[in-house]
Structure 1
Amino acid sequence: MNQEEIQFHPYSPFIPETTRRLILGSAPPSRFCSPNKTELKDKDIDYYYGSYSRGYNLLWDLLFHIFEPESLSELKNIRNLQIPREERTCTQQKFFQNFLQRYYLGIADILYQFIRRDQSSADSNIRPLKFLNLTEYLYHSAELQTIFCTSHYKVFIWLKQYLHTQDINLLKDAEDFYFLLPAKNNQSLPSRKISVKILPSPSPIGRLRFPDHKSFFDNLLKLYTELFKENV
């Protein structure tokens, strides 16, 4: 096949001023980046981590298990809404944004413009053209202390490359990564330390290393719970 297509990220970052922890991914699957949404599947959520193909991305299930297990039935209902796509998109996005805001979480992807090969959803088939201007959001959200990358192989590497374009070095202290965000327009003020943590990918591809879905999910939930609870 070997076809390449230039795509833009379809969603605006959700990083309110009150955000303390940011979940940072790469880019949605190809069908989400299409100018029209006719390619979306019935159970796709038209938002970050909304893919329902080959199982579905587990990020939202994991976050609700950690922060709001009493709302899991509501999460299931919001995923299965049977209303017109435009109305469904608005309802679903508002639902997830309200959830994120309750727990001082933000969500974004590091890629703004990119080349995708063969319509693949694999990060290995994506080549960055332009990164999200992340530092501007970090300046806007003064309480943001931690960035969670949803993969080591690409998201973490692309974050490192982006920071390099801003003359910011990604550093390591023992087992923890971090960078120092310079004070904006005032070099006399101290830099702000931003921790960088790596989450195991919530994508269904990780399921291949486990005997069944339950063991895969339980392993992810344990690791996610430890990371999110440690970084309150």
Structure 2
Amino acid sequence: MTYITNNNFEVETHPWQPFIPKKADKLLLGTFPTHPRNRKTYEFFYPNPNNDFWKIIFEIAGLNIENSQKKDPVRLRKKVLTQLGLGIADICHMIYRQKTSSNDNALFPIEFTDIFLLLENHPIITTIVVTSSSKNSSTLAWLHQYCSLNGNPFIIPTGKLPKTATLHFNNKIINIEIIPSTSRQSRIKGDERLEMYKNALLKSN
């Protein structure tokens, strides 16, 4: 019998730069974009219509998601993020992707986004909002790896979501708000998840 021994993977580099408005005081952090086959509508963060990210963001901003696919959807999304004072980025800049999967468990970080440099360049950011935290393949786990690589780890909290952690950087405290993924595979959905996003994104720094 012949067995499979080749672990097929692709190397991918993040297709977009982080978007951080001038007055953003929070940085919303994900893992890495979905596989290109799922980027069906626009070239910007969370382009998969089966992910609820923009539905949640638009609802928090008091806008109708149904209008978001019309003229210049990327510009509209940047406008909404600016209105909410939110920057957006992903923790991974370069990854291995196994078998074209968009599941975080099929991704392996090669190079992290330089989060500390983003914080240096945007000093009014005092909160990082982390959008997944399950197991070792998540925004939280990879953010912790990046911070540890730079000799500045933080304590990962235990317990149920939402959770908070504290990062000390450049003589100030960065709050880390940990909330569930907007993937439809997430265990936490609906109003419960929406309320967690509202609390994290609208909280005063």
TM-score, scaled relative to structure 1: 0.76
* Residue pairs, 1:111-190, within 5 angstroms: 111-153=92-134, 154-171=138-155, 176-182=164-170
Instruction: Give the counterpart letter for 1:6 in structure 2.
Output: V
Q: Deviations over 1:132-155 (max 9, x none)?
A: 011111011111011011100210
Residue number among 58, 62, 68 corresponding to 1:78 in the alignment: 68
* Residue pairs, 1:1-232, within 5 angstroms: 2-31=7-36, 40-41=39-40, 44-52=41-49, 56-66=50-60, 68-69=61-62, 71-72=63-64, 75-79=65-69, 81=70, 91-153=72-134, 154-171=138-155, 176-182=164-170, 191-206=171-186, 209=187, 216-232=189-205
Deviation at 1:92, TM superposition (A): 1.6
Deviation at 1:121, TM superposition (A): 0.4
Q: 2:20, 2:202 → 1: CA distance?
A: 20
More helix by share: 1
3-state SS of the aligned residue for 2:125?
coil
Aligned length: 193
Moved more, 11-20 or 218-227: 218-227
3-state SS of the aligned residue for 1:46?
coil
Could you say what the CA RMSD is over the residues aligned between the two structures, in angstroms? 2.2
Q: 1:18 to 1:161 in 2, by over 3 A?
A: same
Q: 1:97, 1:228 → 2: CA distance?
A: 15
Deviation at 1:45, TM superposition (A): 3.1
Instruction: Give the counterpart letter for 1:193 in structure 2.
Output: I
Moved more, 197-206 or 164-173: 164-173
Moved more, 166-175 or 192-201: 166-175
Contact 2:39 2:47 in 1 (8 A): no
Deviation at 1:40, TM superposition (A): 4.0
Instruction: Give the counterpart letter for 2:84 in structure 1.
Output: Y
Contact 1:21 1:145 in 2 (8 A): yes
Deviation at 1:59, TM superposition (A): 1.3
Deviation at 1:46, TM superposition (A): 2.2
Contact 2:164 2:178 in 1 (8 A): no
TM-score, scaled relative to structure 2: 0.85
Q: Hey, what does 1:187 align to over in structure 2?
A: none
